[in-house]
Structure 1
Amino acid sequence: MPAPQGEPPVLDDQARFEIIMKHGHQDLVQAVAFNAYGDRCATGSVDGKIRVFNRHRDGMWRLCDNWGAHGGEILDLQWLPPTIYPNLLASMGIEGRFKLWTEDPAAAPGRRFSQRAKGNAKAAFETRSPRSPYRSFSMKHNDETRHTYLALLAADGTLTVLENEVPENLSNYANVDELRVCPKPARGEEASFRVQFDPNPEPCFTALRAGVRADSLSLVVAAMDAVKIYRTRPITTTSYGLQGMGRAFYLAAEVKGHRGLVRDIAWAPGNFRGYDIIATACQDGYVRVVRLDTPFSANEDGKTWAAHDIVVKTGDGAGGGSNIVNARRKRDGKPGSSSGGLITAAAAASGSTTPAGPSSLSTPASVASSLSSTTRDLVPDAGASDETGGTLLDPHGNSSAISSTATSFSGLPPIPDASTHGGGIAAGDRHWTGEAGQVRHTVRELSKLENHRTPVWRVSFDDDGQILGSVGDDGKLLCYRQTPDGSWARSSELTVMKMRMAAP
């Protein structure tokens, strides 16, 4: 029998951290999210209400707004980058609805994030799955292209990725890809699903060197006891009889060894190391930290870090003509005289919309703009004719004809994604098959941490990717740091205790 506890220790006059003493929720707090600056905090409780707090100059947290967001408990919250105005807050409830809330700073308290009264709140954007409720989401915003990406993972193992091309219209999302990441769990079986985008602006330099596109999307998915890493590759799509460019996810790597449900995942920011770090929180009581690499060998592929190897020469597959593009330059231009622009024009003329599926998508960023800027810099005789009958871009960036075969930016000709079934869900897990645009990845476990000795529920990195924190059933926050040999070790421990306030 443990010894009875005496008087709680006295709290120091100079507290080392700031506390929201009274959050005001009438039920258990299920989700907490801070913005990028750390001066705004959103809390979601089991009763479906969200409360937003602001930190003022005196260090005190004060309530900014509260409203009823969902009909049940709130599973997750996420702030979008503060570069987007107005501020946006995303939430997901147990009923499977994803909602996006926008703030109106001029509105009265209680209606700053909701367009109606507290009891009848209306979100700026809302979506749900017609087949199975959503269980996890992740959002990523590209400040250069101003595109926002949304990943939604449903309870049946279906992953849906959407893209918002118009920042001013928060309710307009286009389907990028849809695939199944795991078999549908049996009825009554305990399930766990998590998804997260790569928080870095672009892949690490070794991945770019190995052939990953600079605008490639990367995400990690935890479905039941499996952890899978997906990346996009360019594919050709056909719409209204014309070819366009699209994206399709493929399974880049898989983290094995989990002996229970994976409760949470975290992708470390700051991939300047040349590799990516991913952490998982498992029900078996372990926190696993793995390293994701894209190996390459200069002796095997004949490439170096020289400019003539970074600039990829892209053949059209039908003749000797070629276009020269910069593999490391972002392809973020506006739609120009390309097949994607013709697809959009044909859709507008016919008054119909493009079907939502990976086999009928057009690229969000145009081919012509990036090719024109690159060709002006790298090809003096860019106005030469192609042997296949098409014409390359002239020095002024104008295209007089369309190439007979679409080419990808990665230096490899894209191929149609013929492995998809009806409904846009691909067969299997889109395993790595060596097709055009796919890059081989390797996963190596750095550390297997057992300091909790109880099921681990949450894991997260700091903004620099240098500190890893985890929380388990013991209620302790454990922080880890990376040692010089690459492994991770515990550096500190934080436990919440009742304290007596010292008399002034």
Structure 2
Amino acid sequence: MSKAAAFLADPPTADDRPSFETIIKHGHQDLVQAVAFNGHGDRCATGSVDGKIRVFNRHKDGSWRLCDTWGAHASEILELQWLPTTIYPNLLASLGIEGRFKLWAEDPSAAPGRRFAESTRNGPLITIPSRSPHLHANPPPATGFGSPAPPAPPPSSSTYADNTTTASAGSGTTVAAAKPAFETRNARSPYRSFSLKHLDDSRTTYLALLSADGGLTVYENDRVENLAAFTLLDELSTIPGATTTTATDDGAGAGAGAKARPVTTRGEETSFKVRFDPNPEVCYAALGAGVPADALGLVVAVMDRVRVYRTRDTIRSSLGVAAAWKGFYLAAEVATGLHRGLVRDVAWAPGNIRGYDIVATACQDGWVRVFRLDALRPPAGEEPHSDDEEQDGARGRWAAGRVKKHGARRRVDGGEDASVSRASLMSSSGIRAGLDQSRGTVERRATGQPPGQIRHVVTEISRLDCHRTPVWRVGFDDDGQILGSVGDEGKLMCYRQKPDGAWAKSTEMAMVKMKMAAP
């Protein structure tokens, strides 16, 4: 008998003092689909195919103990994410395969089983529209930024108790179900991925949602005390050649009747991922190229295509009143055909002190690819934000800096000049912004677009095939120095960057069945 056969037949006995922590049983009755740790690493949430979420807390003795478990979704849970512990220590976000995004708020004083499920005791369930209220000519909400959730439909025999307001039990009694503090869904196409980002300086939280038709919707919340204060920031399509519609200044959606081209055919396997740039500010090289310091970054993977989006400062006018606004544009795209399979996961590396950004992808073809993202400087003689030197009608939409300069000029000047300047601002911003806002075009590219869109270039620096099986997950550590990936064989591979900039395998971890010696 070979050594391998003997090992499989009789696992070796571990030492009396093992160098690893004992793996606890998660307690789910089905496959665990999602796992998420909070920022401190002392709380862990697991999501199962049966739609249940279990939260574990790590105690001072190093042991993990169950904190709460509840039915969050009617079917499998795709993604979980803890919100930043600095501002939201007890908030957990989840996304189910039915397309509902939910926020769960913990009540430490509640009994086990109700800590995350009694979030509506202090008020009604609040929802936000999945699309702009002007897009489908829907009436605006009655009050505030959201509106009370519509009443739940009557339960049917095929409805799970965990996803309804009340469900009839076998004895005829009603059982209360888990209610999130906040939820939203897309009426046209279910959401398949989400990402959250919080900026401590501006106290603003951003939420990005990617739907199955390739639509990317981004919300912002600048009121941390109100979970329902999400407003639509931008909406676009991430599919080349597909049309997308959004609100215009006059309240009519341009091309509202247009339908996006389907991403896949019926029965075809799909993959969608979206991730925010985790860095609070862009790297110094991008700043020199003209990217605003507070610009947002998104990496989106739809099927086998990977795209990077940035924001630029613009203004949006409504009834002649101009307001600062962040608009997304396509900054860079990975060459078509580079990924020979579905892109299962994407990750944006924290710690951009290198002067460039790093993005990693996990592909079904068995390769982990690492890309370098650089911002290109404008041509010689052209400043990044020279549009404020132009005439009012020479360039497209205004930048935020131009609005500030016009405001200062109105305060300094007086009389007729001030009124003329004010009228010029209102007319030009309203008409031009209205034309720019009619985004019934196929997509947004940096070439030939208004100023403020900085071109980026994506360069593949490493291609790693250590798994030799389809890769499902990829992620960086908090410093962006270690890259980890998990493949079909169940091994965790860790990579580090070499002095020449390439990435190489450094560690391999796998789970092995071993006999634990009795104490």
Report if the CA contact (8 A) 2:410-2:422 is conserved.
no
Aligned runs of 1:183-202 on 2, under 5 Å?
183-184=261-262, 185-202=264-281
Q: 1:405 aligns with which of 425, 434, 441?
A: 425
Q: 1:218 aligns with which of 292, 297, 301?
A: 297
Counterpart Cα distance in 2 of 1:246 and 1:433: 21
Report if the CA contact (8 A) 1:235-1:417 is conserved.
no
Aligned runs of 1:387-398 on 2, under 5 Å?
389-390=417-418
Counterpart Cα distance in 2 of 1:186 and 1:420: 31
User: Are residues 481 and 451 of structure 1, via their aligned partners in 2, closer, same or farther at CA, if it must alter by over 3 Å?
Assistant: same
User: Are residues 403 and 300 of structure 1, via their aligned partners in 2, closer, same or farther at CA, if it must alter by over 3 Å?
Assistant: farther
Shift of 1:109: 1.4
The residue type equivalent to 1:140 in the other structure is: K
2:232 matched residue in structure 1: 175
Q: 2:498 aligns with which of 483, 486, 503?
A: 483
Aligned runs of 1:281-320 on 2, under 5 Å?
281-296=362-377, 300-301=380-381, 314-315=388-389, 317-318=391-392
Q: 1:465 aligns with which of 480, 484, 487?
A: 480
Counterpart Cα distance in 1 of 2:91 and 2:19: 30
Report if the CA contact (8 A) 1:388-1:403 is conserved.
no
CA offsets per residue over residues 324-362 of structure 1, 9 Å max, x none?
A: x998xxxxxxxxxx9xxxxxxxxxxxxxxxxxxxxxxxx
Shift of 1:248: 1.7
Deviates more, 1:237-246 or 1:450-459: 237-246
Shift of 1:316: 7.1
Counterpart Cα distance in 1 of 2:305 and 2:491: 26
* 1:453 corresponds to 2:468: yes
* 1:243 corresponds to 2:326: no
1:496 matched residue in structure 2: 511
Counterpart Cα distance in 2 of 1:101 and 1:64: 14
Report if the CA contact (8 A) 2:334-2:458 is conserved.
yes
Shift of 1:247: 2.2
Report if the CA contact (8 A) 2:347-2:475 is conserved.
yes
Report if the CA contact (8 A) 2:483-2:496 is conserved.
yes
User: Are residues 124 and 131 of structure 1, via their aligned partners in 2, closer, same or farther at CA, if it must alter by over 3 Å?
Assistant: same
- Structure 2: gaps of 5 or more residues: 120-160, 163-175, 240-260, 394-398
User: Are residues 501 and 489 of structure 1, via their aligned partners in 2, closer, same or farther at CA, if it must alter by over 3 Å?
Assistant: same
1:259 matched residue in structure 2: 340
* 1:154 corresponds to 2:211: yes
Please state whether the residue corresponding to 2:307 is helix, strand or coil: strand
The residue type equivalent to 1:445 in the other structure is: E
The residue type equivalent to 1:96 in the other structure is: G
Q: 2:51 aligns with which of 44, 48, 52?
A: 48
Counterpart Cα distance in 2 of 1:448 and 1:386: 63
The residue type equivalent to 1:389 in the other structure is: D
Report if the CA contact (8 A) 2:346-2:360 is conserved.
yes
Counterpart Cα distance in 2 of 1:403 and 1:13: 82
User: Are residues 431 and 312 of structure 1, via their aligned partners in 2, closer, same or farther at CA, if it must alter by over 3 Å?
Assistant: closer
Report if the CA contact (8 A) 1:292-1:443 is conserved.
yes
CA offsets per residue over residues 31-63 of structure 1, 9 Å max, x none?
A: 000011111100000010000001111000011
2:90 matched residue in structure 1: 87
Counterpart Cα distance in 1 of 2:92 and 2:406: 36
Shift of 1:429: 2.4
User: Are residues 457 and 110 of structure 1, via their aligned partners in 2, closer, same or farther at CA, if it must alter by over 3 Å?
Assistant: same
1:440 matched residue in structure 2: 455
- Structure 1: gaps of 5 or more residues: 304-308, 320-324, 328-337, 339-366, 376-380, 392-400, 407-413
Percentage of identical aligned residues: 60
TM-score (norm 2): 0.76
1:411 matched residue in structure 2: none
Shift of 1:465: 0.4
Calculate the aligned-residue CA RMSD, in Å.
Answer: 3.4
The residue type equivalent to 1:61 in the other structure is: W
Report if the CA contact (8 A) 1:419-1:426 is conserved.
no
Deviates more, 1:3-12 or 1:86-95: 3-12
Count, aligned residues? 433
